[in-house]
Amino acid sequence: MSKTCTLDEARAAKPLVEQTLAGLADVVGVGITRVGRGYGVKVNLSQASASPESIPAEVAGVPVRVEVVGTIRKRE
């Protein structure tokens, strides 16, 4: 059974994930999400990444989840 991460752990890992993915053009957002009974970091992509290995499965022991959400646009 894997370790359940707290909200504080996920919040601490979020900037590390943002730094790790800073050069990827397909990343449109990074946030916090529920993972089982705990929390993780969620990476939103505009399209399926050409190099999925560049996104780690976990950072600082916190799970990273990836979702393709499309292009983010401002509502009118």
Q: How many CB atoms lie within 10 A of CB 50?
A: 9
Domain extent listing, the chain: 7-68
- The arithmetic mean of pLDDT across residues 2-27, rounded, is 91
pTM (2 decimals)? 0.84
Separation of alpha carbons 12 and 36, rounded Å: 19
Inform me whether the pLDDT recorded for 50 exceeds 70.
no
Per residue in 28-45, pLDDT (tens digit) is: 999 999 999 999 999 999
Question: What's the pLDDT at 24?
Answer: 84
Question: What's the pLDDT at 1?
Answer: 45
**CATH code for residues 7-68:** 3.30.300
Q: Provide the token pair at 10.
A: 């996920």
